Structure 1
Amino acid sequence: MTTEIIRIFDGDMNCIGEKAREEVHRTGDWHETFHCWFSLGEDILVQKRSKTKKDYPGLFDITSAGHLMADETIQDGVRELEEELGVKLQYNDLISLGIIKEEIKLETIYDREFCHVFLYECGEMPTFTLQEEEVESIHKIRLEDALNLFNGVSQTIEVTPVDGGASQNVSKDSFVGHDGYYIEVFKRIKELRKKPL
């Protein structure tokens, strides 16, 4: 397996070197990731991570996300969309939601990220060809319901597979533990929708 080398940063986002991805997650170095959320009408699309994933298997998360390698620009992050979802987009198709600083510390991983966050507003439901070792399925959730869930107003939320399967109600425990990050992203999407065209 190829060792993935990524840039590492101090807390003010100054690049201070490069390290292997696995080492970065062990030592908790700040690093860059590319996140892209898909929206369709009032819904946000989330991926269900493959059950074979090393980190957070079987949990719901960002539509598509990945690490930026040491030789990549932010614009190169669009490759994740084609790799994971089979959806080919250009960087110019995306709306920037800014950079969000995010941190998760568990027994198995210390993950500190500068997340370059983007939104893709779908005109219609994309045709997905999923990378099975990464993504099990794609589901839709209502933006307002998601905000209520992560703000503690609701205890469960309805998630519906985009391929027409049965809906189910799930709690926050069914999502990767990015609670504060999710709230910030969903607020930014909601604000974006209020702006006049």
Structure 2
Amino acid sequence: MTEIWDIYDRYGNRTGRTMKRGIPKEGDYMLCVHIYLLASDNRFLIQKRSENKESHPGEWDITGGAAISGESSVDAILRETEEEVGIKLDEKDLYYAGRFVKERRIIEIFFAKKDFELPDCHIQKEEVDKVAFVSYDELVGDILMKRGRSREYVELVSKAAMEFLHGENS
């Protein structure tokens, strides 16, 4: 079944139009969500994208995806986390880190801390090949930079991660 996504303007407002899963037209935006999920020992969960994915197959990344029509960014991140890695979060677990806008995408970024181990993850094979834990340094250097995230995105995530790790988000 083809996913239907809401179309947004550059400022994150729904336009009232929808589109089938794909790439928005020039001037239109889709809502994406990313979550940086920490285990109780402050290691970040990463996932290796399935080799069958259209974009970035086989690359290590964080959990995320696109919001389905009618979903808020919170709804989308809770769904994506449970679908892709089998970790159930509650809205109260989420720390909103910020918004990053790039061509045709609005990315809402979240952090959450949860007491879990890798065997607790139940991965969605269509999306994810495997999961692992990494340190903050490995996340920023080995995952985000190698994945080709922009400098601005990495700076936003790095700052938010340090605030989250040191409890400055309370």
**C-alpha separation between the residues in 2 aligned to 1:171 and 1:97?**
16
How far off is 1:27 after superposition? 4.8
How far off is 1:86 after superposition? 1.3
Verify: 1:141 aligned to 2:134, yes or no.
Answer: yes
Q: Deviations over 1:116-142 (max 9, x none)?
A: 211111234250111111001112221
Specify the code of the residue in structure 2 equivalent to 1:93: D
Q: Percent identity?
A: 28
Structure index of larger Rg? 1
**C-alpha separation between the residues in 2 aligned to 1:39 and 1:171?**
16
**TM-score, normalised via structure 1 length:** 0.72
Q: Deviations over 1:112-171 (max 9, x none)?
A: 321121111123425011111100111222113433x2xxxxxxx4xxxxxxxxxxxx89
How far off is 1:50 after superposition? 0.5
Residues 79 and 99 of structure 1: CA distance in aligned 2, closer, same or farther (over 3 Å): same
Verify: 1:131 aligned to 2:103, yes or no.
Answer: no
In structure 2, the partner of 1:68 is 67
In structure 2, the partner of 1:47 is 47
How far off is 1:74 after superposition? 2.5
Tell me the number of residue pairs that the alignment of Structure 1 and Structure 2 aligns.
Answer: 164
How far off is 1:44 after superposition? 1.7
How far off is 1:68 after superposition? 0.8
Gaps of 5+ in 2: none
**TM-score, normalised via structure 2 length:** 0.82
Tell me, what secondary structure is at the counterpart of 2:22? helix
**C-alpha separation between the residues in 1 aligned to 2:138 and 2:128?**
23
